[in-house]
Amino acid sequence: VKSIIAATVCALIVAAGVGWLLKLPPTSHRTASEPLHAARTPASQLPEVAKSRVSLSAAQLDEALASKTLDRPVRSLLEIDKPLHFGEFAWNDTAIGPGPLWIRVDLGSQLISVFRDGHEIGTSVIVYGGDNKETPSGTFHVRARDQNHRSSLYDAPMPYTLRLTSDGVAIHGSIVRWGAATHGCIGVPLEFARRLFDQARVGDEVTIVASKSVQPHTS
């Protein structure tokens, strides 16, 4: 009886360990070898938070242009009442007509905003280049689109790539979580990257700025 009890306890411990080791990591902890496409979340579970939009007044636009927050007229922004978490994004392009696409990337606030016809249709938290692999600032144009690109330099998947520079800096789907950085690319959540990929065409303008207005977090 004693040995049976011991065997039962041992088997339970083994089973717990095996089950715990087989526990799949969450989607944000995928290994680099796994394709990002396989972990696409269904549309019902998308972390969208945008519900409506706010129109910019003339005074607001003038102030933004004067302070160089914006370099072109913008009519409306998505209304987001709380800070976005890493991996979250907002997308709302209903009732927005066709027009020129403009992508604004702010490394300081770790945000990307997609404008169509002067209206913001999407925004997301990004990850960008770490030390020694800094993301360049400036105005770029989309040089190439590649839905299933794979980095030749780092052997990493770059789904929905919008290539910006000749040396490989691009906007692409990536793991977006706190503490992560890239080798210079701009990483956005995969579903956001898919939608952006659908909107962007070769030649569309991308502005990368590094604002200093946001407080650095201390965690």
Partner 1 sequence: VLLALFAALAAAVGIAVFRPTSFPNSANSTGRNFTEQIGNSVDSLKALGNTVANLFDSRSPGQRAGGVLASLKLKRQIILHQRALPKIRRPVSPLAGIVGAPPIPPVGTLPAGTPLYNVVNGTTRNPITVAQAGPPGGPPILFPSAPPLSGGGGGVIVPPIVTAPQQPPASDTPVVNIPPIITAPQQPPATDTPVVNPVITTPVPEPSTWAMLLLGLAMIGNILRRTRRASVKTAAC
Q: Which two tokens stand for residue 24?
A: 């799949």
How many C-alpha atoms does 94 have within 13 Å on its Cβ side? 6
Among 115, 116, 119, 184, binds partner 1 (CB under 8 A): 184
Q: For residue 200, how many other CB atoms are within 10 A of its CB? A: 18
Sign (positive or negative) of CA dihedral 216, 28, 107, 152: positive
Please answer whether residues 77 and 53 qualify as being in contact, where contact means their C-beta atoms are separated by less than 8 angstroms. yes
Report CA Rg, the chain. Answer: 21
Q: Which parts of 88-117 interact with partner 1 (CB under 8 A)?
A: 88, 106, 108-111, 113
Binds partner 1 by CB under 8 A, chosen from 37, 48, 117, 151: 151
* 166 touches partner 1 (CB under 8 A): no
Footprint of partner 1 on 56-85 (CB under 8 A): 56, 60-61, 63-64, 67, 69-70, 74, 77, 80-85
Least CB distance to partner 1 at residue 196 (A):
16
144 binds partner 1 (CB under 8 A): no
- Does position 46 interact with partner 1 (CB under 8 A)? The reply is no
Minimum separation from the CB atom of position 204 to partner 1 (A):
20
Task: Check binding of 171 to partner 1 (CB under 8 A).
Answer: no
Question: What is the nearest approach in angstroms of partner 1 to the Cβ of residue 99?
Answer: 19
Query: How many angstroms separate the CA atoms of 4 and 17, rounded?
Result: 20
- CB proximity list for 138: less than 8 A, separation 6 or greater: 207, 208
Q: In the bound complex, what is the minimum distance in angstroms from residue 12's beta carbon to partner 1? A: 4
